[in-house]
Structure 1
Amino acid sequence: MKFDFIPGESPSYFESLRHDAIISELPVAGTTVRQAQIDYLEAAEHEFSKDDAEILLEENFWYAPDDLEKFSRGEDLSDQSFALRFPWDLLKLNEILVKQIDTDFILAKVYDGAQNEGFLYAGEGTKILPGVFIEGSVIIGENCKIGPNCYIRGNTFIGDNCHIGQSVEIKNSLIMNNTNVGHLSYIGDSILGEKVNLGAGTVSSNLRHDGTNHRTEFHGNMIDTGRRKFGVVIGDGVHTGINTSFYPGRKLYPGVTTRPGDIVQKDLKV
């Protein structure tokens, strides 16, 4: 597998999510990228040590265990191994990892009237209120409040100390710690950083009318994300006004705010 890296002096393509991001330390599927790679290698019983995993991650490349022997022989890798160059690559990795859940592990308080059809990890101190419907594989961290009347669809990861409000739908997304999604909102195929607060009625679009892949701008270049469904990347500390709407594939850089009723057609920076 060959990758067409963008020329230049290695600009940080994760800057729309977090200033000075260390990619291997970013949260994904209830852990970090680094720890997930180590855990994957150990579970596959490969003769690779933690030091080997650290070396692999130096280039911000995710290696599926089944590809390690191919790598050592110089063969092409599968699409389960890929460079972590852009935020949507982190979303792809989250999908792969969350999808691996094959049992429930629930320390949360699940109220009567909440339903789970799939596999759920839910941490201590979390409350899943009446009317919540969870479908597919989902990971929810500690001390969260979900609901009432939410629809959470796989493969979604919600970090610690998050609030997903009344009648919110979350689909195939990665939501980091201390983030709030206000009531009557929809977030699909998206990444939300830490300490984000979405006002009530905030909605992401994730599908082009022509059904083609989403493209997005980075450092003056339009990049094909390779994703037919892709919502929004919202950086750390972003606050949105009520009824904010996002065109698909847009990015709100850390610290951005929107006004009530804003329609985000282009990337926003402070």
Structure 2
Amino acid sequence: MQSASTSYSFLDYNESEVDSSIPSNCSLYLFGRALITRNVELIDSLYGLETVLVPKKLNFISRLIKSTTNVPVEEIDETTYDKLVKRDIRVSQKINVSEKNDFSSNTIHMQQNTLISNKNLLFLPCNTVVGRKSDKRSLEYYKFQYPWEFLEIIQDLLRNEVTHSIISNRASIAKTAIIEGPCIIEDNVVIDDFAKIKGPTYIGSGSFVGMGSLIRNSMLDYNTNIGFNCEIGKTYFAGNAKISHHNVILDSMIGKNVWFGGYSGTANVLLTRKNVQYRINGNLFDTGRNHFGAVVSNNCSIGASVIILPGRKIPPDSIVPAGTIFSK
């Protein structure tokens, strides 16, 4: 179900959508899988899904699920969707579920836009991440609305799901590289000399970490290329990024097909040490965090020696000239 609380897309994946006004954060990748695909697979492994019903206005989700899973998908019109939602929300609201989330009986009604379930149906909002510790009696989930909340979920997932190292035998790791703490390193990853990977960290297939770089507590999806002498900390890469030499990227979200020139970075702390604010549709929001970097949307090119100040979003397809202090 579309979640009203997810009012905009973090990284702007609108090229995959029919209606560009619909947020598509469910297209974000987690551990090499699209968020919605991962959710469907985990729920199917627990309950054996008969069908996934998708509103026609969210038909890009149908394509994602069909291309990556064997679960049947049916698109329904808005009238049918509204009837299902109204009927089952009304039924669920009559059930007192203050004690626990139990999906084995007629359960749960949490807050709107979280999770709603009855005996036969589970409504899954787009801004929900299902955890791997779920079982038939308790479905673990995380809800997010803003990019800093998504980054916090990434950190939780890394801590909870990357508990020991899994390194593909098709990865190439230099003898002088250091792997410290649990890491998942996928096929065709290359870790160059004197690089350090500090877990929990996920490095997706086809990625490269250059000589002397430090990667810590981060999720790098497919074909992420990190040059030499870079520091990447508590950051999410959506994939296919190219980061040149001597970059520092901290507490940030980096979209697909992003390029950073040398000596650039994202500042993540204000000089006042106060909480970082983030602007959405002209309004400033307190992130509640004194460490928060930037959101760099898809297809951006960042020139050499660019500093992006805390709490900034660079729109998709932007070109930021060399030497810029990005403070908009």
Tell me which of 145, 155, 159 is aligned to 2:208.
145
In 1, Cα distance between the equivalents of 2:248 and 2:323? Answer: 15
Alignment of 1:265 onto 2:321? no
- Give 2:26's aligned residue: 24
Equivalent residues of 1:174, 1:191 under 8 A apart: yes
- Distance in 1 (CA, whole Å) between partners of 2:126 and 2:204 is 28
The answer to whether the aligner puts 1:133 opposite 2:196 as a matched pair is yes
Q: Residue 242 of structure 1 aligns with which residue?
A: 304
Match of 2:128 among 58, 61, 66: 61
Q: CA 1:136–1:23 in 2, change beyond 3 Å: closer, same or farther?
A: same
Larger gyration radius, structure 1 or structure 2: 2
Task: Provide TM-score, normalisation by structure 2.
Answer: 0.67
**1:86 alignment counterpart:** 146
Match of 2:314, as an amino acid? L
Q: CA deviation at 1:251?
A: 0.4
State the distance in 2 between where 1:56 and 1:173 align: 30
Whole-angstrom CA distance in 2 between matches of 1:183 and 1:244: 13
Q: Which structure 1 residue ranges, 4+ long, deviate > 6 Å from structure 2?
A: 65-71
Q: How many residues align?
A: 248
Higher relative contact order (CA 8 A, sep 6+): 1
In structure 1, the residue matched to 2:85 is none
Which runs of no fewer than 5 residues in structure 1 stay unpaired?
72-79
Paired amino acid for 1:26? L
Check 1:81–1:124 CA distance in 2 against 1; reply closer, same or farther (3 A cut).
closer
Following superposition, the deviation at residue 134 of structure 1 comes to 1.1
Equivalent position SS for 1:99:
helix
Unaligned runs of 5+ in 2: 15-19, 53-102, 104-114, 116-120
Which residue does 2:88 correspond to in 1? none
In structure 1, C-alpha distance between the alignment counterparts of 2:31 and 2:220, rounded to whole Å: 8
**C-alpha separation in 2, matches of 1:96 and 1:36:** 16
| Cα pair 1:14 1:85 within 8 Å, conserved | no
RMSD (CA atoms): 2.9
Structure 1 residues 218 and 16: CA distance shift in structure 2, 3 A: farther
CA contact (8 A) 1:16 1:252 kept: no
* Percentage of pairs with the same residue: 23
Rounded to whole Å, the distance in 2 between the matches of 1:132 and 1:177 is 20
- Secondary structure in 2 aligned to 1:88? helix
Q: 1:31 offset after TM fit, Å?
A: 2.4
In the alignment, what sits opposite 2:163?
102
